Amino acid sequence: MSEQLGVMPAQTVGPYLHIGLRWPDGPYVVPEGTPGAFWIRGRVFDGTGTPVVDAMVESWQADPDGRFDHPDDPRGARPPALAGFRGFGRSETDGNGWYGLLTVKPGSLPEPDGGTEAPHLTLSVFGRGLLHRLVTRLYFPDEPAANAADPVLRSVDADRRGTLLARPAADGFEFDIHLQGDHETVFFAV
Amino acid sequence: MTTQDAPVSSGLVLPRYRRDDVDAHPPLLSPGYKSTVARAPKHPLIYLPQRLTEVTGPLLGEGRVGALDHDLTRQHDGEPQGQRIIVHGRVRDGDGRPVPRTLVEIWQANAAGRYRDARDTWPAPLDPHFEGVGRALTDDQGRYRFITVQPGAYPWRNHDNAWRPAHIHFSLFGRAFTQRLVTQMYFPGDPLFFQDPIFNSVRDPKARDRMIARYDHAGTTPEWALAYEFDIVLRGRESTPFEDEDDHDDE
């Protein structure tokens, strides 16, 4: 039994996170022009309904085949068939609290117990006033059957489940994040 | 044992990451730090069993780091003002295993305590030779190294006469989504700790001490730079998942 090392505590990214965390290609989970690509846009709000202008949203997702190019995917790491697919996105919020990510829909995922997870993105939210990142998930409104069977959505009270569903928008989907307040987004402990 | 070409509808065995102790991280609502009051969620976080999305993560490699990204003193024509320092350390998981080839991103104020940002307007000088941004990849042993200048303390408006202790922001990915961490490195003996609600938001004093770098005299470069060692531990894996897998029930 080796002794556990204590983990490093989290601290806020502060208001100037973009100094160190800005990448020109950050929002592009897939390159512009990728077939089937769409934008996910949304605003981050605080408990007073004020847009959060100094936040950052990061996304992580499977490729359209439901695979990860990662050694801990027990089905084996597999480079995505879709050219330029990175799986990861990062977007600061702008002066009105908007973030944006260009991506494609991930595939469904097998579950250890034989069930299936609906297509989803997992999101981290960072910002001034957030001493640790917040984790949430984004599900797609055009997947009602898969969503109804999704074990994570099912674990959330029905009256709050809607906070995890994106809305259709002109060029993709819209997904607002409410850190607090009447429509507080569901956040997870992972 | 799962193989690459097996059907995947069940029998999937995933690694699992230990949950952090409750006191390791600061509570999201820490009213001494005023910005948390309207931003911390009111509902408790919902426990999410780790699945494929959580146990994998972006492996962002060499393409992200330029030749001088680790040396914040050589990114401009001239040298920045201030005390030159080397900041180095190891990134490991909770079992002491190195986290190799992982991206470490840092940002900081300049020697006068000012960030290169239009919104940072307190009357301290900007340094034309200092951006305050660094990137490095850990090596096979999980080691990283930056060269930079000692950041200054700066005032903020959180409370009467509030000053942030000198610090460098660190961002790490680890190898899995569950290991993602943003933290701050502080300097030993800083007289401003007592009044800083961000540093003190971590309630366990031992956990708080982990955020303070160690002055490393052996690591200095004579007649050139002082050195600080800052080791970072990310969450470790559960040790059991590959043994108790037999049927199903990985909970």
Provide the ipTM. Answer: 0.97
Q: Is there a contact between A136 and A69 (Cβ–Cβ < 8 Å)?
A: no
Interchain CB contact of B61 with A (< 8 Å): no
Give the model's pLDDT for residue B214: 98
Q: Which residues of A fall within a CB distance of 8 Å from B37?
A: 47, 129
Q: Which of residues 181-200 of B touch A (CB under 8 A)?
A: 181-184, 198-199
Q: Which residues of B fall within a CB distance of 8 Å from A135?
A: 45, 48
Chain segment A96-114, per-residue pLDDT in tens: 999 999 999 999 999 988 8
Residues of chain A with pLDDT under 70: 1-2
- Contact between chains at A188 and B46 (C-beta distance less than 8 A): yes
Residues of chain B with pLDDT under 70: 1-10, 240-251
* Shortest Cα–Cα distance, A13 to chain B (Å): 7
Among A116, A128, A160, the residue with its CB nearest the CB of B35 is A128
Among A60, A130, A185, the residue with its CB nearest the CB of B39 is A130
> What residue in B sits closest to A88 (Cα-Cα)?
B58
Give the model's pLDDT for residue B2: 42
- Number of Cβ atoms within 10 Å of the Cβ of B19: 14
* Shortest Cα–Cα distance, B86 to chain A (Å): 18
Pick the catalytic residue from B18, B74, B101, B169.
B169
Ranges of each domain in chain A: 17-178
Has residue B72 been placed in a domain?
yes
List, in order, residues 6 or more apart from B233 with CB less than 8 Å away. A5, A6, A7, A8, B91, B92, B93, B94, B210
* Shortest Cα–Cα distance, A71 to chain B (Å): 8
Give the model's pLDDT for residue B250: 38
Give the model's pLDDT for residue B3: 43
Give the model's pLDDT for residue A2: 58
Domain extent, residue B180, equals: 16-38+51-237
Has residue B161 been placed in a domain?
yes
Active site residue B135: no
Q: Which long-range contacts (CB under 8 A, 24 or more apart) does A138-141 make?
A: A138/A40, A138/A59, A138/A164, A138/A166, A138/A173, A138/A175, A139/A164, A139/A165, A139/A166, A140/A105, A140/A165, A140/A166, A140/A173, A141/A165, A141/A166, A141/A167, A141/A168, A141/A173
Give the model's pLDDT for residue B1: 42
- CATH level 3 topology of A17-178: Protocatechuate 3,4-Dioxygenase, subunit A (2.60.130)
Interchain CB contact of B19 with A (< 8 Å): yes
Has residue B43 been placed in a domain?
no
- Whole-structure pTM value: 0.94
Q: How many domains does chain B have?
A: 1
Chain segment A109-135, per-residue pLDDT in tens: 999 888 999 999 999 999 999 999 999
Pick the catalytic residue from B114, B135, B167, B235.
B167
Give the model's pLDDT for residue B174: 96
Give the model's pLDDT for residue B23: 87
Has residue B73 been placed in a domain?
yes
- Contact between chains at A9 and B210 (C-beta distance less than 8 A): yes
- Contact between chains at B95 and A12 (C-beta distance less than 8 A): no
Place of tokens 């350390």: B89
The domain that holds B184 is classified in CATH as: 2.60.130.10
Active site residue B167: yes
Among B14, B36, B249, the residue with its CB nearest the CB of A131 is B36
